[in-house]
């Protein structure tokens, strides 16, 4: 963590030490260049994969359109009917969990030991099954989080977001004297790239800054958590252990539909989106989403024993302030904070990051040629 | 003599098999993750047949599926909804160590598992 604060401290110290504004500017420029050179390729990876992940649910449904979409009907069948239809189709396999779609034209899913079955919830037709395993989108997410796997990859990406953040700050410093927002198409290649870099950089500063800052917080969540919880005077959510229920007769067990009904009475205005069966975990776990509770809205979980006795209730309204800070941060990073507009904003931010790395590289390449051929001082190329 | 040897072999194999019955506690850490996940298994072995459950704690247990025992090697699976956990472990006295493969509908990850016999 100390090294996070080392660079700005170094910049301040150097500012005092150099005295000359040109030297300071040159120093900041070199820091900007070095950070870009070190982290550019990883920022491209983060931005490229991030732009895909931004619309992962939509892309996943597009890749599996035959399984994902149904004609919206009036009332869905009961979970018992859906579970029976799926079990019949897959040789009596037990149902592990049900996933209820948020939109009426999306199919429901039933988790089985062999895979995930997709069902038309209005007719009971089993649309097909997806076996568990890595897909293109899974690989993209893995690249975004860990460069494809491993602690080293995760560490490199974490520090690349820090480098990106400092690049933005140093870039703003370098842009400030001229405050240029224009692209002169009739000028030389170098100046066109330079114009593009300056203009896109300043126009996209806010989304890029939010993406980088939220990315740093996500990357260093473990280290930042104690500070956040202390500042918010709160504690991380504790997952309650389920108490074992007293075994009763088979006839007294409730159905998943009854479990959902009980859970909805306990969390009014919320809609169930996931039901875990008691054979898998010991209790019914009904997860509910409350659209009125923002980023924490899907953190409602009611646990019931197989006989309908309430084991635990976790409500989104009780999520601690510290946990909420991290949830908001994640929602900012993914663009989900305000829905489609912010998701598009986040997408534009990732595209801007790609443009900045590419244009920065082009500026550096053309600058090298000029320096090499006519020995133009660095300041003159700015 | 052959009968005695056969009985001895049977006794030895039964003794090895009996080692798996009981509670096994430990952790796994997925590749690239920064924290350990607790594990508790409650296993019952009857000859070459293995049954039981496993999960993060005693209250949250999932039935083990597709169990296989081959000498000192044990393999089984657990399904928790989106995720399937496939364990490939090796028995060494009161220790069970090995690899875990976690697969969801779109992701595959690996982890190292270490369990110790509790009772």
Local confidence pLDDT in tens for the 119 residues of chain B: 555 555 544 444 444 445 789 999 999 998 877 789 999 999 999 988 999 999 999 888 999 999 999 989 999 999 998 899 999 999 999 999 999 999 998 899 999 999 999 97
Residue reference for tokens 């994902």? A68
pLDDT above 70: residue A3: no
HSE-CB at A15 with a 13 A cutoff on CA atoms is 11
pTM: 0.83
Report whether A220 contacts A3 (CB < 8 A): no
Q: Which residues of chain A does B107 touch, with a Cβ-Cβ cutoff of 8 Å?
A: 134-135, 138, 141-142
B34 at the A interface (CB within 8 A)? yes
Instruction: List the single residue in B with minimal CA-CA distance to A151.
Output: B32
Whether A377 shows a pLDDT value over 50: the answer reads no
- Residue A380 confidence (pLDDT) above 50: no
Give the lowest-confidence range in A23-27, A365-369, B15-19.
Answer: B15-19
Q: What are the strands, taking DSSP E only, across A10-155?
A: 97-99, 108-112, 115-119, 126-130
pLDDT in tens, A205-258: 999 999 999 999 999 999 999 999 999 999 887 655 555 555 555 558 999 999
Say if A133 is an interface residue toward chain B (CB within 8 Å). yes
Partners of residue B55 in chain A, C-beta under 8 Å: 281-282
Give the closest of A115, A138, A279 to B107, CB-based: A138
Q: What local confidence, expressed as pLDDT, does residue A374 receive? A: 43
Chains A and B form CB pairs within 8 A to the count of 85
Q: What are phi and psi of A21, to 5 degrees?
A: -60, -35
Which residues in chain A have Cβ-Cβ distances shorter than 8 Å to B109?
A: 142, 149
ipTM for the whole complex: 0.80
Q: What is the pLDDT of residues A277-336, one digit of tens each?
A: 999 988 999 999 998 888 888 999 999 999 999 999 999 988 999 999 999 999 999 998
Three-state DSSP at A188 gives coil
Q: CB distance B81–A145 less than 8 Å? A: no
Q: Is B92 on the interface with A (CB under 8 A)?
A: no
Pick the CATH number of B20-117 from 3.40.50.1820, 2.40.128.120, 3.40.47.10, 3.40.50.170: 2.40.128.120
Contact predicate B51/B77, CB 8 Å: no
CB contacts of A116 in chain B (<8 Å) are: 82, 105
Minimal-distance CA residue of chain A relative to B66: A113
Please tell me the distance from the alpha carbon of residue A205 to that of residue A169, in angstroms, as a whole number.
Answer: 9
* Residues of chain A contacting B82 with CB distance shorter than 8 Å: 97, 111, 116
Are B105 and A130 in contact (CB < 8 Å)? yes
Distance from CA of A138 to the nearest CA of B (A): 5
């Amino acid at each position: 963590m100390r090294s996070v604060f080392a660079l700005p401290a170094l910049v301040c110290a150097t500012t005092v030490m150099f005295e000359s504004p040109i030297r300071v500017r040159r120093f900041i420029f070199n820091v900007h260049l070095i950070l870009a050179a070190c982290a550019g390729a990883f920022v491209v990876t983060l931005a490229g994969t991030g732009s895909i992940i931004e619309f992962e649910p939509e892309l996943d449904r597009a890749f599996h359109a035959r399984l994902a979409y149904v004609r919206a009907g009036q009332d869905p069948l009961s979970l018992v009917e859906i579970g029976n239809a799926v079990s019949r189709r897959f040789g009596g396999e037990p149902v592990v969990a049900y996933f209820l779609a948020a939109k009426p034209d999306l199919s429901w899913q039933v988790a089985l030991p062999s895979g995930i079955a997709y069902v038309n919830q209005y007719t009971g037709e089993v649309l097909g099954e997806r076996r568990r395993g890595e897909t293109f989108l899974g690989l993209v997410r893995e690249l975004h989080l860990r460069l494809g796997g491993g602690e080293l990859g995760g560490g490199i990406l974490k520090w690349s977001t820090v480098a990106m953040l400092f690049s933005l700050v140093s870039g703003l410093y370098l842009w400030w004297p001229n405050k240029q927002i224009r692209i002169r198409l009739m000028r030389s290649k170098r100046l066109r790239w330079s114009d593009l870099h300056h203009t896109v950089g300043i126009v996209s500063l806010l989304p890029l800054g939010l993406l980088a800052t939220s990315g740093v917080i996500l990357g260093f969540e473990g280290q930042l958590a104690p500070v956040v919880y202390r500042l918010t005077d709160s504690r991380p959510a504790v997952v309650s252990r389920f108490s074992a229920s007293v075994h009763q007769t088979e006839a007294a067990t409730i159905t998943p539909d009854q479990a959902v009904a009980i859970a909805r009475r306990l969390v009014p205005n919320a809609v169930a989106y996931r039901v875990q069966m008691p054979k898998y975990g010991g209790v019914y776990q009904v997860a509910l989403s409350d659209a009125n509770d923002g980023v924490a809205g899907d953190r409602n979980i009611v646990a019931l024993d197989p006989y309908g006795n309430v084991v635990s209730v976790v409500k989104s309204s009780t999520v601690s302030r510290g946990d909420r800070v991290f949830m908001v941060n994640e929602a900012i990073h993914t663009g989900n904070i305000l829905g489609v507009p912010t998701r598009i904003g986040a997408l534009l931010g990732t595209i801007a990051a790609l443009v900045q790395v590419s244009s920065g590289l082009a500026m550096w390449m053309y600058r090298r040629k000029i320096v090499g051929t006519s020995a133009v001082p660095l300041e003159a190329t700015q | 003599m052959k009968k005695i040897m056969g009985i001895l072999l049977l006794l030895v194999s039964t003794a090895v098999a009996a080692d798996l019955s009981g509670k096994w506690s430990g952790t796994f850490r997925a590749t690239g993750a920064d924290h350990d996940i607790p594990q508790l298994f409650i296993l019952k072995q009857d000859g070459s047949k293995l049954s039981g459950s496993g999960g993060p704690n005693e209250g949250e247990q999932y039935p083990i599926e597709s169990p296989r025992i081959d000498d000192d090697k044990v393999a089984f699976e657990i399904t928790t909804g989106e995720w399937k956990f496939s364990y490939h472990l090796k028995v060494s006295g009161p220790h069970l160590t090995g690899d875990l493969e976690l697969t969801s509908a779109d992701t595959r990850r690996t982890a190292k598992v270490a369990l110790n016999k509790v009772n």
